Structure 1
Amino acid sequence: MKFNTMVRTGVAAVTSLAAALGISACARDYTAAYVYSISSTSGAISAYGVDYQSGVITQIQGSPFSTQLTNPATIVSTPNGKYVYAVSGNQQAVVEPFSVGTDGKLYGEATVNLTGTYPLAATIDSTSTWLFVTYQYQTQYGPNAPGPGGMSIFKINSDGTLGTPTNVNLGVDPIGVTVSAPVCTTSPIIPGNLTSACSSGQGANVYVYAVDQETSATPAIIGFSFNDSTGAVSFLPGSTCSTTNPTVCTGIRAGVQPSAIVSEPTGRYVYVTDALQNEIFSYQIAGPTTANPGQLSSTVQGFVSTGLYPISMVVDPRGKYLYAANYNSATVSSYSISLSDGSLGGTASVGNFATQTGPTCITIEPALGIYLYTSDKLAGDISGGQLNANTGQLSAVPTQFFPTGSLPSCLTSVPNGPRANQLVYP
C-alpha cells in the first residue's frame, strides 16, 4: 500500500498524539479529556468524553451521576485532574467531593459544610491542595436579614476528601475568587511549571471580588497573601476587613456590578468582569521584589468592552488568551493577553463566538488546551468551540451544541490521565 506525503504526515501526527494519550489499536480510546456539567434543578452531574481530534463530546457510561446537592451553584476541578467538587447554591451550604475514575466516572465522598450559607463561587490553587469557596451570608444573616458574607478555605487531602474549613469574614456579596500562581523570583513562573521557583508557603495570593461597603457599596477586590503550607491568609496592602459586626471591607475599587474574577498562569495579572457596564478591568500584581508584593494596580489599558452581561471568564492553559462568557448576548468574547503589560487585545475573529442562550460558566479542557465549552443555562445544553493556538480565534466544533441536564449552572473539565497534560506542556 502506498501513501502520498500528506497522508504519511497526517498518519504520523495522529500516531504521535495517540501515543501521548495512551491510545492503542485494541483500546481505541480517543478521549483527550472529560467535561462535567451540573444541573441546578436535579443536582446531577453529566459527564462527557472529549474527542481529541474533533472536540465533540459524548456522554460516558453511567452519566449523569447523582449528587446530594439541591440547587448547585458551581463545580470545579483540581488542576491535576484527580478530583471534582460540586458546591450547593442555597442554605444547604455544602461541598461534595468526587474522585475521577480512569474512565471519567465520578465517585462521591461525604459532603462537608461551609462556614456560611448560599455559596457563590469556588476555585482551587495551582498545587491542587486548597479549595476556596465564597458564600453570601455569614451564619447570623440570610435572605430575610441581609448582611456580609465570607470565604471557607478547605485543605484537600491526598484522597480528595476535605478537611475542616477555616473561615474568613468578608464584605457584601463576595461574588468571585481567584488564586494567583506563585511568583517568588523576579521572573514569572512558566505556565505548566507553576511551582518550580517557589519554596513551600511562598508566592500565591488570593483575590476576592466583592462589594466594598466603605465606598458607598462600590465593588472592590480584596487581596490576601496565602501560605500554601498552612492555609493561612493575611491582608495585602490596600485591603482590610473589620473585626466588628457587621464586617466591613475595603479594597481596590473595581467596576459597578461584580460578576467574575480570574488570574493568568504567570501570576502577574488579574481580570474582573463588570456585568452592568459590559467591561473587563485588568490589574497588575506587584512582584515579590517591590515595596508591596501582591498589591493590585490598574494596568495602563484599564479596561476593554465585552458582550452583554459577562459573568464568567477563563484563561487558556498557555496563558495567551482570555475568554468571557456573555449571558445576555449568548456569546463568548475572545482576547489576546500581552505578557509585557497585561493588556487585552481582540483576536483575529470577526465578532464574538455564538453560544446557545444563557451561557453561565466557561472551561477549556487542559489536555490539548484547544477546546472550549460553555454551560448554556437557558438552553439546557453545552456549546463547543475550538481555539486557534496561534490567534486565539474560536470556531465551532462539529455538532456545536450538546444536550445536558436542565438549567446547567456551571461546568468544568479535567485531562484524561496525567499524560494528557504533556500535550500542552511537552
Structure 2
Amino acid sequence: MKLNKLGRGALASIVSVALGLGLTACSRDYVLSYVYVTNAKPASAGATNGAVTAYAVDYLQGTLTPLPDSPIAAGKNPVTDVATPNGQTLYVINHDDSTVMQFSIGTDGKLYLKNTVNITGSFPTAAAVDATGTFLYVTFTYQVGPNNTQLYSPASPGPGGVTVFKIGSDGSLTPQSTTNVGMNPIAIAISRPVCATINTGGASATNCELTGATSNNGYYNTFVYVVDQEPQPNATVLGFTQNTSTGALTPAPGTTITTVAGKTVATGYAAGVAPSAVAVDPSTRFVYVTDQLTNQLYGFNITTGGGLSTMVSSPFATGQFPVAVTIDPRGLYMYVANKNSGTISAYAIDAKSGSPSGTVGSTATTVGTQPTCIGIDPSLGIYTYVSNNLDASVSALQLNPHNGALTTIQNSPFPSSGLPTCLAVVAASNQHPTQFVVQ
C-alpha cells in the first residue's frame, strides 16, 4: 500500500490525534470537513424545490454542526450530489427538472450557486466525478431525440444514457458527449487512473499488467461502471473505458451497446435481479454491486481492458434491500446501506481475492429509518455519515481503522431537512485528502 500524501506512520499519528490523544481542548471546534445532504422535500413552507443541508464536521469527535444559511435551495427533487477532488465545487443533481447545479464551496464551507445546466436526457439518477477532476458523468433515465425532442417518458418507456461534462478550472460544466445505455441506468462508479503517474513513486508493472493499462497522455486507463437495473435477465453492470482527452466512453470487453428496433439495447455482466449500487476499490482491481431484491452483494475482478469476472464465492449476503455501497479510502473495508433493515453492513476486503467478509468488530450497525447513502470523510478516513430518508436525519459513525467496526458518534443522529436522498463529504480547505493505492 502506498499513500499519495501521507506515509503510514503519519496516518497512524493523525488517527491517534483524531481519537483524542494529545489534543488540547481548544481544538474541539476545529473543522475537519463538510457534509452536504440533498433533501427531496422543500426546505421551507411554500417552496416547491428541494434543498441541500450543510454541516461542519468536528475534528475531534466527528459531530455535525449545521452551517449558517443552511439549508440551501436546490432544484426539484435533488437525488444526489458529488464534489470535485479539490473540494472547491459541489454538483447537485435534480431529478425532476433534469438539471445539474454548480455550487462553489467557500473556505467556510458555505455554498454559492454559480450555474445551472441541463443534462442531455431526462430524469437524472446518479453522478460521479473522475479522480483527476476533469469530467462529470451523470446517468439519466430517458434519451431524447434530434433537436431535443422527447422520445421517451414514463408513459412511453425507453433507454437512458450518460451525459459527459468537461469540468473547467472554475468548476463550470461544458457538455461533451452522451453515451446511450439500457432501460434503467441508476448508479455509476469510476476507477482511479490505473498505474497513474500522478501517484507518488508511480505504480508497479504488475498492477498495470493486471488491468491491461496503456499510457494515454501521461495517465492510464480509467474505467467507468454503470448499473442498468432492467428486469431480469437483462439486469447488468456495464463497463466502459474513458478517453482522458474527451471523457467519451467506449464499451469495455463484455459490454455491448447496440440498436434494436430503434431502441438502444445494452448487455453487460449479470448482477442479480435488481442491481442498485456500484463501487470500485481504490486499487482498481475489484468492483462490487448490490442487489436490492435478493439482499446480496456481487463481487467482480477487473480484467484486461476493464472487463469483469465474477469472484469466487460471489454473491455475498447483505441486509434487507441494499441501496448503497462505499469503500473506505484505504480499500480495506466496505459498507452497505440496507434501506429496509435500517442498518449498515460492514465487510473486510481480502487484499488478494477481493472477497468481502464480516468485520471483526461488527457486521451491522443500526442507523436511522431507510438509509440511502454512505459517505466517509476523506481527510482522516474514520468518520462515516449516512443519510436517513424517512426520519430526516444524518447518522454519524466512527470507523475503527484496525478492524473496520462502526460505532455511533455522540448525539447521532443529527436532524436534516425532509427526505434526505444522498450526501457528499468534502475536506475543509485547510485539509489535504489522503489518497490510497493498494498494491
Coarse TM-score class (shorter-chain normalised): 0.7 to 0.9
* Paired position in structure 1 for 2:347: 335
1:101 CA displacement: 0.7
Quick check: 147-156 or 23-32, which moved more? 23-32
Aligned match of 2:91? 85
Does structure 2 conserve the Cα–Cα contact (< 8 Å) formed by 1:32 and 1:420? no
Q: Residues 179 and 36 of structure 1: is their aligned pair in 2 closer, same or farther, counting only changes over 3 Å?
A: same
Q: Judge conservation of contact 1:201–1:226 (CA < 8 Å) in 2.
A: no
- 1:169-248 map, 5 Å: 169-184=180-195, 186-188=205-207, 199-200=217-218, 202-211=220-229, 217-244=233-260, 245-248=262-265
Of all paired residues, the percent bearing the same amino acid is 42
Paired residue for 1:3? none
Residue 302 of structure 1 is matched in structure 2 by 314
2:66 is the counterpart of 1:66: no
Which amino acid is 1:74 matched to?
T
Q: Does the Cα contact within 8 Å between 1:366 and 1:424 map onto a contact in 2? A: no
The one-letter code matched in structure 1 to 2:258 is S
The Cα shift of 1:303 comes to: 1.7
Alignment CA distance shift 1:237-1:309 (3 Å)? same
Contact map agreement 2:286 2:299 (CA 8 A) in 1: yes
How many Å separate the matches in 2 of 1:59 and 1:212?
A: 39
Does the CA-based 8 Å contact 1:367-1:423 persist in structure 2? no
Match of 1:41 in 2: 41
After superposition, the Cα gap between the structure-2 partners of 1:54 and 1:252, relative to the gap in structure 1 and judged at 3 Å, is same
| Contact kept in structure 1, 2:36 and 2:52, CA below 8 Å | yes
Q: Secondary structure at the match of 2:263?
A: coil
Paired with 2:59 and 2:368, the residues of 1 have a C-alpha distance of: 23
Q: How many angstroms apart in 2 are the aligned matches of 1:144 and 1:395?
A: 45
What SS does the corresponding residue of 1:221 show, helix, strand or coil? strand
Asked if structure 2 preserves the Cα contact closer than 8 Å seen for 1:188 and 1:267, the reply is no
Cα distance, 1:243 vs structure 2: 3.8
Q: For 2:113, give the aligned amino acid.
A: G
Question: Which one of the candidate residues 76, 99, 104 is aligned to 2:104?
Answer: 99
Q: Which segment is superposed worse, 112-121 or 217-226? A: 217-226
Instruction: Return the offset for 1:33.
Output: 0.6
Tell whether the 8 Å contact from 1:175 to 1:210 is kept in structure 2 after alignment.
yes
Whether 1:260 and 2:277 are equivalent positions in the alignment is: yes
Which has the larger displacement, 306-315 or 228-237?
Answer: 228-237
CA displacement at 1:188 relative to structure 2: 3.9
Preserved CA contact (<8 Å) 1:304 1:344: yes
In 2, Cα distance between equivalents of 1:109 and 1:63: 17
- Deviation of residue 217 (structure 1)? 4.2
Aligned to 2:147: none
Which runs of 4 or more aligned residues in structure 1 lie more than 3 Å from their structure 2 counterparts after TM superposition?
13-18, 23-29, 184-189, 197-201, 422-425
**Residue matched to 1:407:** 419
The SS at the match of 1:102 is coil
Partners of 1:217 and 1:15 in 2: CA distance: 45
Whole-angstrom distance in 2 between the partners of 1:307 and 1:113: 36
Structure 1 pair 25/342, CA: closer, same or farther in 2 (3 Å)? closer
Q: Partner of 2:378: helix, strand, or coil?
A: coil
Cα distance in 2 between the residues matched to 1:339 and 1:157? 36
* 1:256-279 residue CA offsets vs partner (Å, 9 max, x unmatched): 001101101111110000000111
What CA deviation, in whole Å up to 9, does each residue of 1:87-132 have, x standing for no partner? 0112x11100111111000111111111111111111111111111
Q: 1:269 aligns with which of 278, 282, 286?
A: 286
Rounded to whole Å, the distance in 2 between the matches of 1:106 and 1:24 is 30
**Partner amino acid, structure 1, of 2:223:** N
Aligned counterpart, 2:295: 278
* Superposed displacement of residue 199, structure 1: 4.7
Inter-CA distance 34–123: structure 2 relative to 1 (3 Å threshold): same
Q: What is the alpha-carbon distance in structure 1 between the residues aligned to residue 310 and residue 390 of structure 2?
A: 35
Find the aligned partners of 2:194 and 2:345 in 1 and give their Cα distance: 28
User: Which letter maps to 1:142?
Assistant: S
Aligned residues of 1:273 and 1:281 also touching (Cα < 8 A): yes
Structure 2 equivalent of residue 124 of structure 1: 129
Aligned to 1:352: 364
In structure 2, what is the equivalent of residue 6 of structure 1? none
Work out the CA distance in 2 between the residues paired with 1:330 and 1:81.
30
Q: Could you tell me whether the CA contact under 8 Å between 1:274 and 1:280 is conserved in 2?
A: yes
Contact in 2 for aligned 1:212/1:249 (Cα 8 Å): no
Structure 1 residues 160-175: aligned runs within 5 Å: 160-175=171-186
User: For residues 338-389 of structure 1, what are the alpha-carbon distances to aligned partners after superposition, in whole Å with 9 as ceiling and x for unaligned?
Assistant: 1211110110234410011010111001111101111101000001110100
Q: 1:17: Cα distance to partner? A: 5.4
Amino acid at match of 1:88: N
How does 1:23-34 map onto structure 2 within 5 Å? Answer: 29-34=29-34
Render the CA deviation track for 1:397-418: whole Å, top value 9, x for unaligned.
0011000010011111100125
Give the distance between the partners of 1:252 and 1:15, measured in 2 at CA: 39
Residues 378, 386 of structure 1: alpha-carbon distance in 2 compared, 3 angstrom cutoff = same
User: Unpaired runs of 5+ in structure 2?
Assistant: 1-12, 43-49, 145-150, 196-203
